[in-house]
Amino acid sequence: MSSAEARQTAATAPWIRGLVFTVLVPGSIALYVPLRMAERLAPSGGFWPLGWFVSVVGGAGYLLCFLHFLASGGTPAIFFTRPVKFLIGEEPQRLVRAGLYRVSRNPMYVSVLLVIFGQAIRYWSWPIAEYGLFVWLGFHIVVVRLEEPHLREERGQSYDDYCRQVPRWIVRLRPPGSSLRAAVIVISAALFGCRAARFPATWRDPSPGQARFVEVQKDVHENWS
């Protein structure tokens, strides 16, 4: 193989591995599973355009993040997948801080969630929305317990500075841990609203689950004040 062919192969490989990663990981999480869940569901007429809009915004966000990873010399693969880097690539050598990474430290995860919740809106589906919530909790655990300690060890002070400047998700909430509680409240409110729209009669008498939701709201309000 000539040097020119070798350079072309080296330039093409991250694209191929990045596309394989996209199909296997976010493609499965954000498209395959929700679509299988929605096989027997008919899209809700009034919310069909809104759901499409949310999913398209999420897809565009993922594409922008994907291109920034490739420009940095890697793919979005998580560090602990290095044993299969021949298939899906590996993280870039330098920290990605351009584009959407200026406003969120994890915009790719946010984009995947938008695709999922867009489908929940399109089909007005409580199960898909619940699935999206569990996916977010999984992302949160991976980010806090695995990715952030790894990046602090690899990048040192520069990553700490980045964390102080840019929120983990979209907005920065205090005290520590309030982002998890806030997200659970917001998503739960949306899910309860979805159920109320489909089954309005159930809201006449608060169920135990709804009463518990009100208690969580009060608890978070007291902790933040």
Shared domain for 157 and 203, answered yes or no, is: no
Shared domain for 164 and 197, answered yes or no, is: no
User: Which tens digits make up the pLDDT trace of 19-44?
Assistant: 999 999 999 999 999 999 998 887 77
Full DSSP string of 72-136? TTS-S--GGGGGGHHHH----SS---SGGGGT-S-HHHHHHHHHHHHHHHHHT-HHHHHHHHHHH
Give the per-residue pLDDT at 184. 57
Alpha-carbon distance of 192 to 199, in angstroms, equals 10
Q: Count how many domains the chain has.
A: 2
Give the per-residue pLDDT at 206. 47
Give the per-residue pLDDT at 174. 56
Give the per-residue pLDDT at 222. 52
User: 169, 196, 217: which is the final residue of a domain?
Assistant: 169
Give the per-residue pLDDT at 14. 80
Shared domain for 163 and 182, answered yes or no, is: no
What residue numbers bound the domain in which 185 lies? Answer: 173-225
Shared domain for 195 and 138, answered yes or no, is: no
Shared domain for 7 and 32, answered yes or no, is: yes
Shared domain for 178 and 89, answered yes or no, is: no
pTM exceeds 0.85 for this model: no
Q: Are residues 109 and 139 in contact, defined by beta-carbon separation less than 8 angstroms?
A: yes
Low-confidence ranges of the chain (pLDDT < 70): 1-12, 45-46, 172-225
Give the per-residue pLDDT at 11. 53
